[in-house]
Structure 1
């Protein structure tokens, strides 16, 4: 099994190269990286889903059209493509798409829900050139399963994470933070560290899709500040990556948390 620290260092080195390629591609073509939602189909029922999968209309690209997109991305010298959905592994031609991107030197990041990450699937993804997989966890088993609407989903995702780490893939755990799971974030972070996960993506509710009715679950700035203080400490002590996304309002809060941490350590 690849050590978590070794995997972290390998990702950091590749990340620096990737960022440079993004700058070069943007300067040349106006596109640095691409998020591609390859399907609206999904096997979870999360109430916060911003694409309303799987009840949203499925007007998707054909296999031929998808390969045309790959060719265009290669022409634009896009260095990295984030494959998401819905659940991208439910798309029949997903392995062809991933393999083609990898064969042309494009770094592929697969953002999936983890339910289909069996040992065999993970090995196949490795052969397709996938090196980075992002999966969601929302808290302890019962809470996570209640949020996803699928019993046993926590256990299946954890097994998928283990398979990815064993295969040598870098794993990022995505966590949408709301009033439902706020108190369980410390447990979740400890669980992820135990599994060898060294990257976290923390985001707020996005009022799109099914999440339009969840305004009451959004956190106030004071609770975000308390959480970010813990995350800054985690970054310093455990050498992990923490990305705060889908929440522009968190920028000033994050800045204050980092500044306060620096003042405390001096």
Structure 2
């Protein structure tokens, strides 16, 4: 149900502009934000990323369908042979924005739960109704799609409803992402951290749902099993078990994150400035990659390996964990100290 990102992926955060201001937004996006990536530099970067061995580009934001040149970027990515994914809140899929769906291989529509819960988290009384209209547009485009759900303490009991909703809407995938206390969630959902018990219950609920729905719905959970990590440090330590000699960037770093301000970050959006190692358009990606290998990679490997060792040595810890939140938190603490 879960593991490291198997495909070599570039996560592109196109913008921080969004028509909603969600309480759990990892990037603190919203209607007043104007930060976005320059289109020409982004297209050049995607060509370089493909040459570095990345095969998938996943777009988010902000709201990616509010990025004016989204169709142009998708067309360029398609021409490069990149598989194209996007995550959307589903509320702006009209006109030329909806036309961009034809250039995607898969789209995920974010749903936070039943209508009242969804609208409360999205801070809009009409968000759920508009999202349903967006799902109609996605189905009309004939595009494979999934439902992305942020698991909170309140929504855990509603996961069976989420699975039923996904199947009724025609989704192929239900992606369960445990709430991380980053971005807007640090204030909008203060005190709502998920403990080990909640994570274990999420995992077990997902197992039961997968058994119920079988091939009708693939359920993915963004958690790791402690025993799996003990046997496979290569899943979370960059470069562990990677290609020898002069590897491409994708052989030692997956995913590569492009933030809306153009900075490049390893693995997670919220790793912090101390681990960012370049900027979109500042210089060619091969040169950025060489500098990453010389400087940032060593510190990143030490951080990940140290955290991995703590996790596998903790025999009394819960069996399932949100590795990416742990890593982001540890990276921030390392910068403070």
Normalised by the shorter chain, which TM-score bucket? 0.7 to 0.9
Aligned length: 224
* Residue matched to 1:161: 135
SS at match of 1:235: helix
Structure 1 Cα separation of the partners of residues 105 and 65 of structure 2: 15
Please say if 1:178 is aligned against 2:142: no
Decide whether the 8 Å contact of 2:20 with 2:122 is kept in 1.
Answer: yes
Structure 2 Cα separation of the partners of residues 248 and 232 of structure 1: 13
Task: Using the TM superposition, give the Cα deviation of residue 140 of structure 1 relative to its aligned residue in structure 2, in angstroms.
Answer: 1.0
Structure 1 Cα separation of the partners of residues 179 and 212 of structure 2: 28
CA-to-aligned-CA distance 1:136-182 (integer Å, 9 cap, x gap): 11111121111101221112212222332332212111111112322
Question: Once superposed, what is the RMSD of the aligned Cα atoms?
Answer: 2.6
* Residue matched to 1:62: 38
* Residue matched to 2:220: 243
Task: Using the TM superposition, give the Cα deviation of residue 65 of structure 1 relative to its aligned residue in structure 2, in angstroms.
Answer: 1.6
Say which structure, 1 or 2, has more relative contact order (CA 8 Å, 6+ apart).
2
Task: Using the TM superposition, give the Cα deviation of residue 220 of structure 1 relative to its aligned residue in structure 2, in angstroms.
Answer: 3.0
* Residue matched to 2:25: 49
Decide whether the 8 Å contact of 1:119 with 1:163 is kept in 2.
Answer: no
Decide whether the 8 Å contact of 1:138 with 1:147 is kept in 2.
Answer: yes
Superposed counterparts of 1:196-211, under 5 Å:
196-211=170-185
* Residue matched to 2:165: 191
Gaps spanning 5+ residues in structure 1: where? Answer: 1-17, 23-31, 256-266
Structure 2 Cα separation of the partners of residues 184 and 119 of structure 1: 33
Superposed counterparts of 1:9-88, under 5 Å:
22=7, 32-54=8-30, 58-88=34-64
**Counterpart pick for 2:116 among 135, 142, 148:** 142
CA-to-aligned-CA distance 1:106-148 (integer Å, 9 cap, x gap): 100011111112376434421x2x0200111111112111110
Decide whether the 8 Å contact of 1:174 with 1:200 is kept in 2.
Answer: yes
Structure 1 Cα separation of the partners of residues 200 and 54 of structure 2: 35
Decide whether the 8 Å contact of 1:175 with 1:200 is kept in 2.
Answer: yes
Structure 2 Cα separation of the partners of residues 186 and 54 of structure 1: 30
Taking structure 2 as the reference length, what is the TM-score of the superposition?
0.60
Structure 2 Cα separation of the partners of residues 216 and 168 of structure 1: 41
Gaps spanning 5+ residues in structure 2: where? Answer: 229-317, 322-337
- Give 1 or 2 for the bigger CA radius of gyration: 2
Task: Using the TM superposition, give the Cα deviation of residue 254 of structure 1 relative to its aligned residue in structure 2, in angstroms.
Answer: 5.2
Decide whether the 8 Å contact of 2:17 with 2:33 is kept in 1.
Answer: no
SS at match of 2:191: helix
Greater percentage in helix: 1
Structure 2 Cα separation of the partners of residues 215 and 66 of structure 1: 35
SS at match of 1:217: coil
Decide whether the 8 Å contact of 2:18 with 2:33 is kept in 1.
Answer: no
Please say if 1:101 is aligned against 2:77: yes
**Counterpart pick for 2:68 among 92, 108, 111:** 92
